[in-house]
Structure 1
């Protein structure tokens, strides 16, 4: 009887430990995921660069910004950016979940060491029409981002800077610069649709009715849109309109280098925001029943064409340059594709930009994943599972030892 009570106590202890270690963390994750994340984009209002080779020159008339360094003469090119003040529309009680500066580059040469660029919070005021190298504003220490030429856009995690602005620090914009050890250069069009900040935020309680609805998912967000559910066949509208399509060979336009490439800002599957940002290596899976919607920016009135295999889907950007394409799943054959997009104007188009990889299967479910991503829940499950197994093995060994000792005592008594 004593041995039986010992075993029961051990098993109860193990069950309690398992519940605390395994179910506890997962309940916390689920509570966090249940909190709806909203989004807002802040587009560039002023964007200009300065050059140390012409310290008194102002380059606001150029339609691009330049970031880089030339080892011939030690010339620096720094960019300064200001943004439209809709960051102020975020409710005061909101929690900033993510904030990213996105710069869509159209020209890239050379490789700095390390291959990064840096963005910093500007701490004094400046004007696009008068800023020069000589009178450039002061700034704080910077935040690094990848400067690789293989990226369709450059991404900087500026959550801490946005939080500084919301805490009351003046918003004088950002400075972008890079290393001074080799000749390199990055260019981006000085256009608000090519340079923007994407912010994701959550509210502990129901948001005020005046909070503006989100049109684009935030970069870096993988939360579900409020009111949407996986498999609901709902997009940004309750009855989304399938975009027009035609053979890819008929939809492509001759390339004009002056036309900027479109930028992907969000992907929705069955109304649910998928993880952003995406690159040409990211993977999205769908089945024959899934509804896929792509969201992005370009120039106002641009014709946007998305190519998937031998089929192309078309839409038109609105006056703010925003666009949305709902793919006709029935016209996409099962297989793997590189999804590409082109912005067109007057019969000519930008260079095609690779958005992500699409895999259509005949299975009953689909999921989106970034091949570089790691499923944290799976890792956590196996870690705690291993701890549990090790602990259980120790308990069983202890019980076995206890049982052998009792058995020996009984044998001696006999």
Structure 2
């Protein structure tokens, strides 16, 4: 058992609790509040007047898929030989020794959703993991968190260079729809003893509406194409990046799909990013869209996640909402809010303690816990 005391609790579920306390036992938070009764001789951790918050969550990145400091040998995120690879799994590529995972938890990012890139129309399966561990199998929160699908510039660029389809947006949409139809037919015929197809097996949870689709979309037209197909097949889906979302925020609110927005730090390095602005999260939130913020690591280093939130505040997003966009909202969007995302009794003791408000760019983590274990202590 461990008592964390003498800090401001940013619970994500209500008002901040000044001089609050957290009681942790067996990897879980068991009590949150002020002046908690504690057993005699209970070990304590003094936050020394700092800020205590749930560990941060990056809902879209590629940590461990493109290893830090390596070129081809560490690049395992795009199987750019086939535009449809739904059977690929992130857990078979993530290297727990990627230095970026250490940097993540040292800066308070305790959970990430990581997976394939956007070269293929259907890229494969994302996984949600804790950022501390030696073996991926023991770090998993969701072995299969979502199916990655990409629209727009990236699949076009990869396969037109190979003189293959897709070289147009029409072909990208057609390939995605074709695989959804094939999967529906495969599912109907499966009980009749039809042959086994690993790709289509991987898509069965998608067509059943059981597995979320992560739709890589930047431009407004691509966003609407993704929505059109999702509605046609009854898919669960989140809109990833959503760079032009500020132009269509009212439409997105009406449709009801959540957005994992970003990355916003960096240059407008391709055509689809020409409308990139940090105003997007605030505009989407004001319209009623649930948002999370991403780094898209290695595009932006994963430990810059709180900086992404701070810059969103500078551009008009309320501070409380910016904190939720890197904690509770991604947990809810990913379907893991029963485990992480807020400081509540019963949840995993994934906790970050800062010496200043976490959205102050000069703030440092002083302590970080994952599953109740101290994984980082400054000094």
TM-score by length of 2: 0.25
> Which of the pair has more CA radius of gyration?
1
Decide which structure has greater strand share. Answer: 1
Relative contact order higher in (CA < 8 Å, ≥ 6 apart):
2
TM-score by length of 1: 0.23
